[in-house]
Chain A
Amino acid sequence: MIAEESAPPGERAVVDGTPPVTELPEGEIPSGGPGHAVLAGVVPVLLGLVTMWLARDLGLGTLTDPGPGLWPMIVAVLVLLTGVGILLRARQATDTEAFTRGAVVVVIAAASLALYAFLFELVGFEIPTVLLLVLWLKFFGNENWRTTAVVSVVATAAAYALFITALGVPLPHLIAI
């Protein structure tokens, strides 16, 4: 029931082929340079400043009677301080990752999801879903056309069955069953 075909129960397990060479995934990703480390500090500083500016307009009130802006202001100051702290330690930081050429794929992927959301209400969910899956399977995943076609059509049908038929979610759709 559990034995792999090649190894009968109780027998010493065998390594198939050559001993596998595995690397921890971290080893493959180049770490980001000082630019990334500085960016990691600049973002919280800017977020802190913008929030402080917006929070002041909301009205701080007093400690006895806190206004809507007091709490965001306290947190914004904290975020600002951590950002400054990160900037001060930016030289020694080694915990960022470089944006590789793969980052382009990430941007396209995010754009495709936004486009999906946009088309979704206009033309129903079926066509955008098939198109999204084709893009991800064929162009991001390097699957062959046959797998792409089968998976994208079957998955769209399954999503229809799960969300519309079984869960009763009012998804905008073309095909009425």
Chain B
Amino acid sequence: MDLAPVLSGFAVVFEPQNLLYCLIGVTLGMLVGVLPGLGPAATIAILLPITYGIDPAAAVILLAGIFYGAQYGGTITSVLLRLPGEASSVVTAIDGYQMARQGKAGSALGIAAIGSFIGGTGSIILLTLVAPFVANFALEFGPAEYTILALIGIFLIATLGNGTLIKSIAAAGVGLILATVGLDPIVGTARFTFGSDQLADGIDFVIVAMGLFGVGEILYNLEHRLRPQPAVLSFGRAIPTRLEWLGARLAILRGSVVGFVLGVLPGGGATMSSLVAYAVEKRSAKDPSRFGKGAIEGVAGPESANNAAATSSFIPLLTLGIPANATMAVLFGALLLQGIPPGPQLIVDHPDVFWGVVNSMYVGNILLLLLSIPLIGVFVRLLKVRAAILAPLTVLITMIGVYSIRNNVFDMFLVVALGLVGYGMKKLGFEPGPFVLAFVLGELLESSFRRSMRLFGGDLGGFVQRPVSAVLVAVFVLTVVVVPVLRAVRGRQAARAEREVVGV
């Protein structure tokens, strides 16, 4: 492959301002992982308006840093408090917390950081090799292929998420309906605007993401705000011993591979890969009974896996324009805001953005290793920051940020309304993730579908007559069959993991 663009990507990364944005991004990511309440998707959504004015490569470097940085930070609460900050760190809490109780919190955090670093970095290298091929292949795609691809993406996110299958599909459907508000993409008729000029341009994606992820989460946390602050286990250095490293290094390797492969699939890549990696470790151990009692492989495997998966989940977004999870959906919006449509042409048309972002992850992972080994004490102290102070500040940034998109007060009312929708969805068992993702892909899906129908003269059979789209249809059918099986397996494992975390 041609190495020149890859190398010039490094030139982008090492521009001082981009290094600074990378540092800010990963530090924010660590903070988000450690602090209760907001997840990475919400944080990125809230910061979107602020990054509006920054140069595209820098903006995406910053936002991507938040995403993979949060994977490092989430480990800290899992190990020290047995409160997984992210779904992908749930299994880490099983053995990590036991290690902490045995006085080995430092080892657990150290091996998690090293595993995350190796998993993340390995995954970037593989991404560098794989992504150009996928993008090149996808350049041939027409509307029919995009219709099926978007369908696969929405279906997988809906089914691999945490909620019930049917509720996730319902949420995705409502997201698709909301995406049709505004002018018809082909004939220009106003749809569902109820005569309001404010809605004629449709609803801005940023407002939907900020409302459902940002305001929705804050409101949800307000209802149960009186949660007692658990005591933090203290520890010495976050460095594993030589013996622990020898015991964990194969687990790190296996976890990284599992993570990379599962991360590419749309859907809960990081979460699923950490669960699978835990199962792999338990199965390949000579003495599986150590698991649940502080086995270091039970920390090393899943933590390497969730980081590798976080990195490889950039592949579908950057090469096909199909976001693989909720955070990628928000990054999709970030790229659109910057005037860069994500898709196969990204790597050709904007090599500086593509390779700048990809290569910035090397730097980001090194920075995170520094933040999570020598500087970990700083972040542990932050566990004492009260949510009662954070929530009002977050909500303030959200409200002013929303206003700043179009300097329009109407959008502020809209974000509050969507926040209430997000709150209600969580209460009634609907995941906001599929909703936001379907909203993002809604216009692509509708316009590709309608163009295909014109192309095929109204014959639905056209989708299976083009070779590439026929293959994609086959993949779609296959996922419809395979995914429920995967869900059943994962459901059993997650239930077991949860029982062990709770310590029943």
Are A103 and B223 in contact, with the CB atoms below 8 A? yes
B261 on interface, CB distance cutoff 8 Å: no
* Cβ-defined contact, B429 with A24, below 8 A: no
B residues contacting the other copy or chain, number (CB 8 A): 90
Cβ of B279 < 8 Å from any Cβ of A? no
Q: Is the CB of A136 within 8 A of B395?
A: yes
Interface core residue of B227, B232, B397, B403 (most chain A CB under 10 Å): B403
Contact B234 A14 (CB under 8 A): yes
- Once the chains are docked, how many angstroms separate the CA of A11 from the CA of B104? 10
Query: Does B180 reach chain A (CB closer than 8 Å)?
Result: yes
B423 close to A (CB within 8 Å): yes
Q: Point out the residues of chain B lying under 8 angstroms from A3, CB to CB.
A: 236-237, 377
Whole-angstrom CA separation of A29 from B226 in the bound complex:
12
Q: Which single residue of chain A is at the shortest CB-CB distance from B413?
A: A117
Within 1-18 of A, Cβ neighbours of B (below 8 Å) are at 1-4, 6-18
Instruction: Check if A64 sits within 8 Å of B428, measured CB to CB.
Output: no
Contact B235 A13 (CB under 8 A): yes
Chain B neighbourhood of A93, CB < 8 A: 164, 429
B484 within 8 A of A: no
Q: Which residue, of A65, A78, A82, A137, has the highest number of chain B Cβ atoms within 10 A?
A: A82
Cα-based distance from A102 to B5 in the complex (angstroms)? 54
For window 378-394 of B, CB contacts with A under 8 Å fall at 380, 386-389, 391-393
A64 touches B458 (CB 8 A): yes
- Report yes or no: B403 in contact with A171, Cβ–Cβ below 8 A: yes
Residues of B within 8 A of A99 (CB): 427
From B173, B176, B232, B458, residue with most partner A Cβ within 10 Å = B173
Nearest Cβ distance between residue B97 and chain A, in whole angstroms?
Answer: 9
Smallest beta-carbon distance A67→chain B, Å: 8
B491 beta carbon closer than 8 Å to chain A: no
Interface centre among B166, B189, B220, B397 (most CB of A within 10 A): B166
Judging by beta carbons under 8 Å apart, are A86 and B166 in contact? yes
The docked-state distance in angstroms from the alpha carbon of A72 to that of B419 is 23
**Complex interface: chain B residues within 8 A of A110 (CB):** 219, 416, 419-420
Question: Once the chains are docked, how many angstroms separate the CA of A43 from the CA of B425?
Answer: 10
Find out whether the CB atom of B177 lies under 8 angstroms from the CB atom of A64: no
Contact residues in B for A162 (Cβ distance below 8 Å): 50
Interface membership of B468, Cβ < 8 A: no
- Whether B389 pairs with A143 at a CB distance below 8 angstroms is yes
A60 proximal to B (CB < 8 A): no
In the complex, the answer to whether A20 meets B231 with C-beta atoms within 8 Å is: yes
Q: Looking across the interface, which residue of chain A has its beta carbon closest to that of B426?
A: A97
A80 to chain B, nearest CB (A): 9
Most chain B beta-carbon neighbours within 10 Å: one of A4, A23, A75, A170? A75
Query: Is A72's CB under 8 angstroms from B498's CB?
Result: no
State the Cβ distance, B271 to closest chain A Cβ, in Å.
16
What residues of chain B lie closer than 8 Å to A100, measured between beta carbons? 223-224
A157 to chain B, nearest CB (A): 12
- In the complex, the answer to whether B230 meets A141 with C-beta atoms within 8 Å is no
B460 located at the interface, meaning its Cβ lies under 8 Å from any Cβ of chain A in the complex: yes
Q: How far apart sit A104 and B427, CA to CA, in the bound complex (Å)?
A: 14
A153 within 8 A of B: no
Which chain A residues lie closer than 8 Å to B234 at the CB level?
A: 4, 6-7, 13-16
Contact with A along B393-432 (1 / 0, CB 8 A): 1011101100110010100110010011001001111100
User: Please, how many angstroms separate the alpha-carbon atoms of A14 and B387 in the complex?
Assistant: 26
Q: How far is the CA of A2 from the CA of B224 in the complex (A)?
A: 33
Q: Which residues of B contact A67 (CB under 8 A)?
A: 187
Which of B184, B220, B374, B428 counts the most chain A CB atoms within 10 A?
Answer: B428
Contact A141 B388 (CB under 8 A): yes
Q: Give the CA-CA distance A82 to B233 in the complex, in Å.
A: 46
Which A-chain residue is minimally distant from B170 (CB atoms)?
A82
Whole-angstrom CA separation of A133 from B174 in the bound complex = 33
Is B238 interfacial (CB 8 A cutoff)? yes
B375: interface (CB < 8 Å): yes
Q: Which of A15, A18, A103 has the most CB of B within 10 A?
A: A15
Contact of B403 among A62, A78, A106, A120 (CB under 8 A): A120
Residue of A nearest to B163 (CB): A95
Q: Is the CB of A75 within 8 A of B177?
A: yes
User: Closest approach, in angstroms, between the C-beta of A9 and any C-beta of chain B?
Assistant: 5
Minimum CB–CB distance from A153 to chain B (whole Å) comes to 13
With A13-B100, A64-B454, A137-B392 already in contact, the answer to whether A109 and B222 are too (CB < 8 A) is: yes
Cβ < 8 Å to A, chain B residues 255-296: none
Closest chain A residue, CB of each to CB of B215: A113
B224/A102 in contact, CB under 8 A: yes
Contacting pair A113 B399 (CB below 8 A): yes
Which residues of A138-177 are within 8 A (CB) of B? Answer: 140-143, 147, 151, 155, 159, 162-163, 167, 169-171
Q: Which of B17-25, B66-74, B353-361, B445-453 contacts A (4 or more CB under 8 A)?
A: B445-453
- Is B41 close to A, CB under 8 A? no
CB pair B222–A105 under 8 Å, yes or no, is yes
Given contacts A22-B81, A82-B167, A141-B389, contact A125 B400 (CB under 8 A): yes
25 A-B pairs (CB sep. < 8 Å): A4-B234, A4-B235, A6-B234, A13-B104, A13-B235, A14-B234, A18-B231, A20-B233, A24-B83, A43-B428, A48-B173, A62-B458, A66-B450, A66-B454, A75-B176, A76-B177, A79-B173, A83-B170, A95-B164, A103-B223, A105-B223, A106-B223, A117-B412, A167-B404, A171-B403
9 further interface pairs, Cβ-Cβ under 8 Å (given A9-B237, A27-B502, A68-B191): A10-B236, A20-B231, A36-B428, A66-B453, A70-B450, A71-B450, A106-B223, A132-B392, A133-B396
- CB-based closest 7 A-B pairs: A141-B388, A64-B458, A102-B223, A136-B392, A63-B458, A95-B429, A117-B412
- B residues within 8 Å of A by Cβ? 50, 53, 81-83, 100-101, 103-106, 163-164, 166-167, 169-170, 173-174, 176-177, 180, 184, 187, 189, 191-192, 215, 218-220, 222-225, 227, 230-238, 373-377, 380, 386-389, 391-393, 395-397, 399-400, 403-404, 407, 409, 412-413, 416, 419-420, 423, 426-430, 446, 449-450, 453-454, 457-460, 498, 501-502
